[in-house]
Amino acid sequence: MDIVVCVKRVPDTSEADVIIAKDERTVEAGDLVFDINEWDKYAVEEAVLLKEKYGGTVTAVTLGPDETEDTLRRCFATGADKAIRLTDSAFEGSDAAAIAKIIHQAVKDLKFDLIFTGTQASDDGYGQVGPVLASLLGTPHASVVTQVDIADGKARVQRELEGGLSEVVEVPLPAVFTIQTGINEPRYVSIMGVRKAAGKEIETAGLADLGLTAEDVGEKGSMTKVERLFLPPVTKEAEIIQGSPDEASTRLAQIIKDKGGFS
């Protein structure tokens, strides 16, 4: 069972002040703490669990500068066998589709039974890389996966639906799955484990290595572009509607009408 896991290094903004950069298209990263994307932790753990059960290898793939090597070292410490870092200044500004295109070029000739991504990334929330990658590879895929069982060259997976529902589907291998949080309990990665992973080799590949051109990636190769980031504006305090039910409903209807809800 050979598995490729796509991981991403993201900023932790849960308890940080987010400051928009001067270009109004990025955030100031100087004071932010970075870590592996939350969904990707579960994807790596699931890949390692399947390797431990069926044998095989786990290859972690990420896209980014030198700093992203820490993310790959964490994957090594969790149980990954190989790591590939895709890095080139031309990749900057790539949207989800362009990122999937870059990853596709890196993994299309690898031997794999499964490719895992996180369901989404905490910094952009797109959730598109996995499905687009599957489309480029021409393989079946399932999203928001909460359980994976392998038998007879197929994966029987449970996936989360809206409204607390779920479904079970059988998917022939090879396939691409986007992994949901809660599918497992990610193991604790010790400092000693990270230190042991420090000496492992990380393969790197850039634009030319992947057979791509500057037109294929970055903003030129993207289908979407961030025009402007801004913090939600501060608005007036909420209005507490008082009075009888008839008076309150009349006032509520008027507010909705004033806001353009209906005419």
List, as one string, the DSSP characters of 78-111.
Answer: HT-SEEEEE--GGGTT--HHHHHHHHHHHHTTS-
The structural domains of the chain, with segments of one domain joined by +, span: 2-205
The pLDDT of residue 263 = 60
Do residues 189 and 79 touch, judged by C-beta distance below 8 A? no
Alpha-carbon gap, residue 31 to 243, rounded angstroms: 49
246 SS3 class: helix
Alpha-carbon gap, residue 259 to 263, rounded angstroms: 10
Report DSSP state, residue 142: E
The pLDDT of residue 10 = 93
Span 14-50, pLDDT tens digits: 777 888 888 888 888 888 889 999 999 999 999 999 9
The pLDDT of residue 239 = 80
* Superfamily of 2-205 according to CATH: HUPs (3.40.50.620)
From the CA atom positions of the chain, what is the Rg in Å? 22
- Encoded tokens for 4: 């490729």
| Structure-token match 């964490």, residue found | 74
- Phi, psi angles (nearest 5°) of residue 240: -90, 115
220 SS3 class: coil
**Which residues, including other chains, have CB under 8 Å from residue 96's CB and lie 6 or more apart?**
124, 126, 128, 129, 132, 224
Do residues 118 and 38 touch, judged by C-beta distance below 8 A? yes
Question: Per residue of the chain (263 residues), what is the pLDDT tens digit?
Answer: 999 999 999 998 877 788 888 888 888 888 888 999 999 999 999 999 999 999 999 999 999 999 999 999 999 999 999 999 999 999 999 999 999 999 999 999 999 999 999 999 998 888 999 999 999 999 999 999 999 999 999 999 999 999 889 999 999 999 999 999 999 999 998 888 888 888 899 999 999 999 999 999 999 999 998 888 888 887 777 788 889 999 999 999 988 888 777 66
Q: What angle do CA 58, 171, 47 make, to 5 degrees?
A: 20
Span 42-57, pLDDT tens digits: 999 999 999 999 999 9
Do residues 123 and 12 touch, judged by C-beta distance below 8 A? no
